[in-house]
Amino acid sequence: MSRSTFEDLVIEIGARGGDVEHRGYNNDLPLRTKLLITLWWLANQETFRPVADNFGTTRGNAHHICMSTCRMLSERAEEYISWPSQYSLEETASHFEFPGTIGCLDGTEIHIKQPLKHLAAYTNRKSVTSVKLQGVCDSSCKG
């Protein structure tokens, strides 16, 4: 996620009064920090102990923040994720000539040199530093 996308997310959630319900130590953490904690946890294969250490909170609070933030985002999913109309689905599927197919999805990992900062964020489950690339296209190979 780019910085500008993150800032847009903070503004969007904040404007809708969508602060993450939170109680306990550091209950005054700003929305920005709660989102950073959650995004870090979702993006990295870390337990709550290092996540909590990175953000100066407790394991219990990191867990509660992540669960509350994910619940809040999940409840708002329909605002951000929309499915195509039935007509659009049928139109797209007819071009694939494969029953029920409405898109093609693929992904790869691009190997990179080890970064000087945030190494864990770029290290995959096989301990290789990489960036993930995912692509989706329709029957005319347009994304």
Residue-wise pLDDT tens digits, 44-84: 878 999 999 999 999 999 999 999 888 888 888 888 777 77
H/E stretch holding 48 reads helix 48-55
Question: Which of 74, 89, 104 lies closest to 13 in space, CA to CA?
Answer: 74
Residue-wise pLDDT tens digits, 100-125: 888 889 999 899 998 888 898 899 88
* Cα→Cα distances 82→22, 27, 30, 78, 85, Å: 29, 33, 29, 6, 9
